[in-house]
Amino acid sequence: MGRKAVSAVVAALVAAGLLTACGGGGSGSAGTGAPEGVDDGTTLTMWTRAATGPQSEALVEAYNAGHENTIELTVVPTDDYQAKIGAAAGSGELPDLFASDVVFAPNYTSSGLYADLTDRIAALPFADDLAASHLDAGTWEGARHVVPHTLDLSVLFYNRDLYRRAGLDPDRPPTSLEEWDEQARAVDALGDGVDGTFFGGNCGGCGVFTWWPSIWAAGAEVLDADGTSADLASDPARQVYDTYRGWAADGIAAPGTRDETGTTWTGVFPEGDIGVMPMPSTTFGQMPDELDFGVAPIPGPGGGGSTFVGGDAIGIAATSEHPDQAWNFLRWSLDDEAQLDVVAAGGDVVARTDLAANEHAAADPRLVTINELVAEGRTPYALNFGQTFNDPNGPWLALMRNAVFGDGDSVEADNQAVTDSLRD
Amino acid sequence: MSSLPHHRAAAPAARRRPWWRSRAARGAAYATPTAVFVAVLFVLPLLLVGRMSASEWPLLAGDRGLNLPENYPDVVGNQLFWPAVRFTLLYTGIVTVALLGLALLLALLVQEARPGTGFLRTAYFLPSVLGLASASLLFWGLYSPAIGPIGPLLRRLGLVEGDVSFLGSPGAALASTVFLVVWKFAGFYMLILLVGLQRIPVEVYEAARIDGARRGQIFRSVTLPLLRPSLALTLILCVTGSLLAFDQFFILTKGGPDNSTVTVVQLIYREAFQRLDLGTAAALSMLLLVVLLVLNALQFRGLRRADER
């Protein structure tokens, strides 16, 4: 390479360096910090992921109808959400408001993408009643950055019609993993296209969401408090794997379980041919009217019940130029009116524990069951959550599949791989 | 440009044109749009990727300064790296052989103008009109154990018993993906080879036939050698495309089952958007780029030699 070419390359490298230097640096303003926020006709942008899109859409629609401010909501396919946020963060083009799968919130808070909301949250009259696990997930170095947006709990759904046909009591859902196993097998025995249960066997996120509650229900832990060590080879965990293993081996789970990557796993139960399976509570409002179904806590080996308190937390982008207007929406979304008339009326879980026994829930005992679960549920915390548990090529999915579809001998080693990834 | 004092009126023939009308300047002007295009859309991004690959660069936090060469041993040390390289090469080999073989067969079938060839050519080419992602999504539905029609159809025909799992085992997932890619691209490569076939003069065939050559001999000694430039072109396209395989696996298998179908480009995506590290993703991209450059250089050399014959 000639001297000229070398200097050209150097010049271009410098240019590239300058370009990227321009990409950094936020331009957000701190705002006035008024507790009510500002409603002055500003247009705000907001992103959410498809998994909780309907809930966000309902809230935004109600807000736009009653306020000067207008929110333009963009619903992004769930699988692409992280990538889209990452790309936007890199180029300083984040929307004013963006929701986050609550388990990914630490990624965003640790990178400084969210504005500090500590004082604004503390000033809320109902600050102590907000879903604590969501607030904790968005706390970084003592500062709160997010509020709960949509709560999505893992709940056992069971088909009461199929229970009746199989000679089971439709008012007695399983209270232990063993009963769950018996009931699934009883329904499966009906044959004729009916299956006992279903699960996302090739979907790490589904496993986290639906298997861990069974482990928690037995009183065991899955992660340590700071999310750097896994305990997924405990006896209760192995009992859970073995039960699922039986369902896969004996054809109790519907066809496709082994290949299900999580894209369609909630679409199977509504068709009415599945006996009993854990699913997100956000699917409650979208069940067909003619389906007679009940809900229950996810039981563990030997009894107990728990849930994974998932869903989306939401915060204001650190780069937003309208933090006061954005806060106006967040504050309104947590108010009695929005929580009762929009969230609870839509059959969803309210973000405040003081509203758990509201009039909408009282009309349907199933909703009371779900709302009461919030207190017993858990939201695990780990900075490397996505790359360890949600990544389709990550170590947790390998553990799941080895334990349920493989020979089941590698749980100990796979658990170590999960720990390594958490510490990576 | 009127005052050029050193010009002599006595020598009109030697009068130089102004620099901006010289042949060289005009040539440069013609080349400028392309050069700008290449610089902005190729060279600059490439340099940026190079810079990323030498830096600690988390996706969410941005540039954190140089850390050369840390990213490179990191990606090569990743336990999925060598399996992904192996799988990508295996996939490329299978697809190239299957695709080019079938494309050549199809091209020979529809080469001559007979009734119905127009229809056949269109039918073979039609899948190429579909985007790869759309085609993958279509096959994802067809293969799906829950909604796919192929499994039940095979069962009704009595060809299989029980449930068919098209993506459930490593071998089946690879075969199903290869089938999709062959279906999607065979028509396209057929078209390239068809053009090549029709470039071969009829006289050569006639001469061969007069000399008493049989069909097989004609194919081996006339068609194949004269088709070499087209074959080389399809080979380059197919190998490069297969080494960069992503969409089909991302949609159909997500690298599964059990990491058996992870390609190198999927690893790049995983580094960037699952592990949120642009530095290692860029390092992997640079490695892939070097391999592709070397491979393409070799293939182009082969292509040029074929042209000279």
**Contacts (Cβ under 8 Å, ≥6 apart) of A102:** A133, A134, A137, A138, A148, A309, A310, A311, A312, A313, A379
With CA atoms as reference, the chain A residue closest to B163 would be A255
Average the pLDDT over A223-245 and give the result. 95
The pair phi, psi for residue B131, each rounded to 5°, is -70, 155
Q: Which positions 200-239 of B are in contact with A (Cβ < 8 Å)?
A: none
What's the ipTM? Answer: 0.78
Classified as helix, coil or strand, A275 is coil
Q: Which residue has the tokens 């069951």?
A: A369
Q: What is the mean pLDDT of chain B?
A: 88
Please name each of the domains of chain B with its CATH number.
Answer: 97-232 (1.10.3720.10)
- Residue-level pLDDT at A24: 36
With CA atoms as reference, the chain A residue closest to B169 would be A259
Interface contact B257-A85, CB threshold 8 A? no
Q: Is B307 on the interface with A (CB under 8 A)?
A: no
A153-309+382-423 CATH choice from 3.20.20.30, 3.90.105.10, 3.40.190.10, 3.40.30.10: 3.40.190.10
Q: A3-152+310-376 and A153-309+382-423: same fold? A: yes
B246 near B269, Cβ under 8 Å? yes
With CA atoms as reference, the chain A residue closest to B148 would be A256
Q: Which tokens sit at A50?
A: 């498809």
Least confident among A60-64, A246-250, B57-61, B132-136? B57-61
- Residue-level pLDDT at A371: 86
- Residue-level pLDDT at A273: 94
Interface contact A393-B274, CB threshold 8 A? yes
Q: Is B292 on the interface with A (CB under 8 A)?
A: no
Q: Which tokens sit at A83?
A: 């990538």
Q: Which tokens sit at A22?
A: 């321009």
For the cut 60, the answer to whether the pLDDT of residue A158 exceeds it is yes
Of A24, A90, A394, the CB nearest to B59: A90
With CA atoms as reference, the chain A residue closest to B271 would be A387
Q: Which residues of B touch A90 (CB under 8 A)?
A: 59-60, 62, 278
Average the pLDDT over B181-189 and give the result. 95
Q: Is B264 on the interface with A (CB under 8 A)?
A: no
For A340-382, what is each residue's pLDDT tens digit?
A: 999 988 888 888 888 887 788 778 888 888 888 887 788 999 9
Q: Strand A43-49 vs strand A97-101: parallel, antiparallel, or unpaired?
A: parallel
For A16-72, what is each residue's pLDDT tens digit?
A: 443 443 333 344 555 666 778 889 999 999 999 988 888 899 999 999 999 999 999
State how far the Cα of B250 lies from the Cα of B261, in Å rounded to an integer.
10
For A80-132, what is each residue's pLDDT tens digit?
A: 888 889 889 888 899 999 999 999 999 899 989 999 999 999 999 999 989 88
**Contacts (Cβ under 8 Å, ≥6 apart) of B80:** A393, B259, B262, B267, B270
Interface contact A255-B274, CB threshold 8 A? no
Say if domain A3-152+310-376 classifies as CATH 3.40.190.10.
yes
Q: What is the DSSP letter of A276?
A: E
Optimal mutation site among B276, B277, B278, B284, interface A, most CBs of chain A within 10 A = B276
Counted across chains A and B, CB pairs separated by less than 8 A come out at 106
Residue in A263, A243, A260 with CA at minimum distance from that of residue A252: A243
A90 near B59, Cβ under 8 Å? yes
Q: Which tokens sit at A236?
A: 């209760």
Q: In this structure, which long-range contacts are made by residues B289-298, counting pairs with CB atoms below 8 Å and at least 24 apart in sequence?
A: B289/B46, B291/B243, B292/B240, B292/B243, B292/B244, B295/B239, B295/B240, B295/B243, B296/B236, B296/B240
Average the pLDDT over B192-215 and give the result. 92
Q: Which amino acid is located at B264 in the chain?
A: V
Q: Is A258 on the interface with B (CB under 8 A)?
A: yes
With CA atoms as reference, the chain A residue closest to B147 would be A256
- Number of separate helices (H) and strands (E) present in chain A: 17, 11
Confidence band, pLDDT 50/70/90 cuts, at residue B113? confident
State how far the Cα of B9 lies from the Cα of A38, in Å rounded to an integer.
79
Q: Is A20 on the interface with B (CB under 8 A)?
A: yes
- Residue-level pLDDT at A31: 63
Q: Which residues of B touch A268 (CB under 8 A)?
A: 146
For A160-180, what is each residue's pLDDT tens digit?
A: 999 999 999 999 999 999 999
Question: Could you tell me the pTM of the whole model?
Answer: 0.82
Interface contact B51-A16, CB threshold 8 A? yes
Q: Which amino acid is located at A244 in the chain?
A: Y
Classified as helix, coil or strand, A45 is strand
Interface contact B274-A113, CB threshold 8 A? no
Instruction: Give domain limits for chain A.
Output: 3-152+310-376, 153-309+382-423
For B226-276, what is each residue's pLDDT tens digit?
A: 998 899 899 999 999 999 999 999 999 888 788 999 999 999 999 988 888
A36-47 burial, b for 16+ CB within 10 Å, e for fewer? Answer: ebbbeebebbbb
Q: Which positions 37-56 of B are in contact with A (Cβ < 8 Å)?
A: 43-44, 47-48, 50-51
Interface contact B255-A393, CB threshold 8 A? yes
Higher pLDDT, B77 or B13: B77
Interface contact B146-A386, CB threshold 8 A? no
Torsion (CA) B33, B38, B39, B45 in degrees, nearest 10: 150
Optimal mutation site among B38, B154, B258, interface A, most CBs of chain A within 10 A = B258
Sign of the dihedral defined by the CA atoms of residues A11, A14, A16, A19, in that order: negative
With CA atoms as reference, the chain B residue closest to A108 would be B60
The pair phi, psi for residue B96, each rounded to 5°, is -65, -50
